[in-house]
Structure 1
């Protein structure tokens, strides 16, 4: 986080953004862009949509940074915007197509698969199939379950932090995660041969 004036903390960057500094905003984008893309991809299961969502998230951040009250952390505010943008995209998707296709998204995102040179091609194919099955099973979950699974199990956020991001009690987060994991397990049971 180096700007023209030396090391800048997150709070410094936010203050500079509120004063209209594009350099400070670009640093914030650079610091958080990949996290936003990862969360969006976890919720949307489509690389192109994840990049579009990230762009929209940062447009909204830029337009509303002055209204950020700093009562919660910047990342909480950012994740909340990300969740809202992704929810909007999912609603539009369902309205226009009625069916969410994840096969194309997974095929487009093969470069995100974990690449390890030691396994044989057959082992790599098996790993890829498992990842595809997990992504497919996640994409079949209700939006509220997909959101908590993405934030908890993929992004590694704590229950309390997820509760703050989503604006719901911590107990609700725990129960949603339990229900999401049960639904995910049920979805994966249909693909038992891969596990």
Structure 2
């Protein structure tokens, strides 16, 4: 009888661990990865894709920046401690492909990118339309959006986190096909 209970507990533990580890989806928020001392080793940004508990990304080892692709198309975060990243052996355009373990729970992952950015989309339209019609995002290139956002932050008196989230929404939206 004890053996059957032990097997049941053991299998339940494995199932729970596998379901957490195999979680895949888009991060719903910025995610800090901390070392054993509690120091931040990396920040993975909202919208980064997590597959089986890992983010696969490209890093510039000299700056610590993390990108979705070797084309630097979308920033995925910042690596403060390179020891947490596992190098895959692939290099392109001066960047190294790495995997970074992310222990995000299922409630911290969205199945689609749209679910991840929907709340921020509302904030974007709320802020923009308080003074003027919200511009169509794809109407301007990324470089112009930096200037537009700087002006908007100044005139709309947005908080830093709020403006960063809206910038993230814009840059993710520019990437969507």
Shared fold by TM > 0.5?
Answer: no
Structure number with greater Rg is 2
TM-score by length of 2: 0.25
User: Higher strand share goes to which structure?
Assistant: 2
TM-score (norm: length of structure 1): 0.24
